Structures are given as structure tokens and as C-alpha cells.
Chain A
Amino acid sequence: MNAARITAALTLAMLVAACGPTRPAPGIQGDPERGMVALTQYACHSCHAVPSVAGSKVYVGRPLDDMAERRYIAGKLPNTQANLVRWLMDPQAIDPGNAMPNMGVSERDAIDISAYLLSQ
């Protein structure tokens, strides 16, 4: 049945697209699965395109699909997990006047969000 095959393919595509990393990459602390949900609760995906998170096309912040390879954060900090956590918690302290506001991210949530971004 053609219709059944299309339905199955669509279902599979939706499932695959909805999955993110469930385990942290080597050397990365935190829980990436929890980080993906935490990220949506601080509206990161409202300004940044985030892999595996459904959202509108946005043209505000940079896409976050290659954070594991990216060398610098905001063109200022070497991209280590510790620095990414600092940035997520207080971007204005690192780069005053940056369009990214402080979102009030707690340390635990910042660790998990960074684990998600660095485990892609």
C-alpha cells in the first residue's frame, strides 16, 4: 500500500527529526536531554535556529548547530564548556551591549544546555 508507506515514512521522519543527543559527548558534563528542554524554557530557540527543536525561521542570533566545532563564543571567549556556561548565565558581563540579554539561566540549566549544544 502506497499510502501506508508514505505514512510510515512521515512518522519515521518526524521521530528522527524530534530526537537530539541523549548522552553527553566525551569530556562534556551535564544532561543533554534535559538541556534540550531547558533551552526551550529560556526561549533560546526564539532567536537561534537550534537543531532538533522545531521553530520559526529566525534571523536574530546565530544558528547553534555547530557549537561543538566553533572556536569562539561571541568572538571573545575560547569555546570551552566552562566558558559556554559563563556566557549562557551572563552574556552581558562578557560582552556588554551585546544584543543577547541575560536570560536568568541557573548554573544547572546552563550546564545541561551547554551539554546539549556541545554534544551535537
Chain B
Amino acid sequence: MVLTLLGAGLIGAVIGLIVLRGGFYNIAATAQHYPLIYTVFEEGLQYSVQNHARDIVAPESLGTPEQLLRGAAVYKANCIQCHGGPGVAPLKQGMSMQPVPGPLVDADVNWETRELYWITRNGIKMSGMPAWEYHLSDNDIWAVVAFVSAMPNMTPEDFRRMTSGGDASPAHSVAATQGETP
């Protein structure tokens, strides 16, 4: 029994090494994952984020009008390039990434608010999602999380207006900035 298992393990390792060193696995971003592999990776991602974000407590005042405007400016400066928004396409760089960055208008279906904060702050390995901890202040990370959480209630027109930064709101002067550094 033990010998059989060891033998099977050894054969598996040899096959793995041949596939690895032979370069047979297609690493091209145009080649899609096998659905099974994609699903396993995604489940792992889900459980990992749930676990690591479990002690984070979202501020109670999340989503004030000023904070949403600030979040819209941060989103426009740093997120829209890859994620796009309602009625707004991402740039080509975001469209042809593998895995595809995806829309955030349904982010609240898959993630709790604290988990969105954790993902934004820490990024996601090998997915192209950068970590923002060292590039955005904590206030700006929460602001952009509040904005993403409010997206399901926006029409494409609302979204365009909020991210255009051209309206008469007092916060529009920050729209062109990339957010305050920590």
C-alpha cells in the first residue's frame, strides 16, 4: 500500500517535471484557464480574503456625500483604467489582462465591505491587482471602498457625473489628483 502510494507519487512528480521543463503549459494571456483550475484558484482567493479580513471593522460613517465624491476622484485616478465602470470601458491594458479585472458594480455580491478594503489595501498575488497600502492614505482607501459600495445604485449617467469631476461640488478640485499618500 505504502509502496503503491510512493510509486504513484513518484510517477506524478516525474510527469509534473516533464510538463514543467518541457514548457508545454501555455502561459499566454490569450489562452484561457481550464474551468476547473480557474474555479480552484478563485475559491482559494475567496477563502483567503475572508480569513485575512475577518478582524477588520468598517467605519460606521461610511458613505457620506463628501466621502463618496472623494472616492469617485480616487476611483477615476487609480481604478477605472482596469475596472471601467457603468457605461465606461476600461483601457485596452485592462481589457486584455488575464485574469480579467472585472467590473466592480457587483462587487458587493461577492465581498463584504471589510473584504473590499482588505483587497484594495493588500492587492491580490498573480492577478494584476496592486496593493494600495503604500500609495493611498487609509482615508482614501475607505473612500474608494465606499464609492464602490455605492455603485450598484448609480445609473451610467450618475457614474459619469461623479467621476467627471467637472460639477460645481467643492471637492472637484481633488478629482485630478491620485489621492493623498499615506
* Chain A contacts to B: CB under 8 angstroms: 3, 10, 13-14, 17-18, 37, 40-43, 45-47, 53-60, 92, 97-104
- Give, as a whole number of angstroms, the nearest-CB distance from B111 to chain A: 11
Main secondary structure on B side of the interface with A? loop
Main secondary structure on A side of the interface with B? loop
Closest to A47 in B: B103
Indicate which residue in A13, A41, A46, A102 contacts B103 across the interface (CB closer than 8 Å).
A46
Interface residues on B, range: 20 to 34
Q: B33–A57 contact, CB under 8 A?
A: no
Q: A97–B157 contact, CB under 8 A?
A: yes
Chosen A-B contacts, 19 in total, with CB atoms closer than 8 Å, are A14-B34, A14-B37, A17-B36, A18-B34, A42-B96, A43-B95, A43-B100, A46-B100, A47-B102, A54-B39, A56-B42, A56-B99, A58-B106, A59-B109, A60-B106, A97-B155, A98-B87, A99-B87, A100-B87
Q: B89–A46 contact, CB under 8 A?
A: no
Q: A54–B35 contact, CB under 8 A?
A: yes
Is B105 part of the contact surface with A, judged by Cβ < 8 Å? yes
Q: A101–B35 contact, CB under 8 A?
A: no
The residues of A that contact B30 with a CB separation of less than 8 Å are 37, 40-41
Q: A99–B96 contact, CB under 8 A?
A: no
Indicate which residue in B36, B92, B156 contacts A13 across the interface (CB closer than 8 Å).
B36
- Give, as a whole number of angstroms, the nearest-CB distance from A102 to chain B: 6
Closest to B156 in A: A99
Q: B32–A3 contact, CB under 8 A?
A: no
Is B84 part of the contact surface with A, judged by Cβ < 8 Å? yes
Q: B34–A17 contact, CB under 8 A?
A: yes
Which of A3, A14, A46, A58 has the most chain B CB within a 10 Å cutoff? Answer: A46
Q: A14-B36, A99-B105 known; 20 other A-B pairs, CB under 8 Å?
A: A10-B36, A13-B36, A14-B37, A17-B36, A18-B34, A18-B35, A37-B30, A40-B30, A40-B32, A41-B95, A41-B96, A43-B96, A46-B101, A47-B102, A54-B32, A59-B106, A60-B106, A97-B156, A98-B87, A102-B89
Is B171 part of the contact surface with A, judged by Cβ < 8 Å? no
Give CA–CA (A26, B168) in the complex, Å.
55
Give B70-98 as 1s and 0s: 1 = Cβ < 8 Å from A's Cβ atoms. Answer: 00000000000000101111101011101
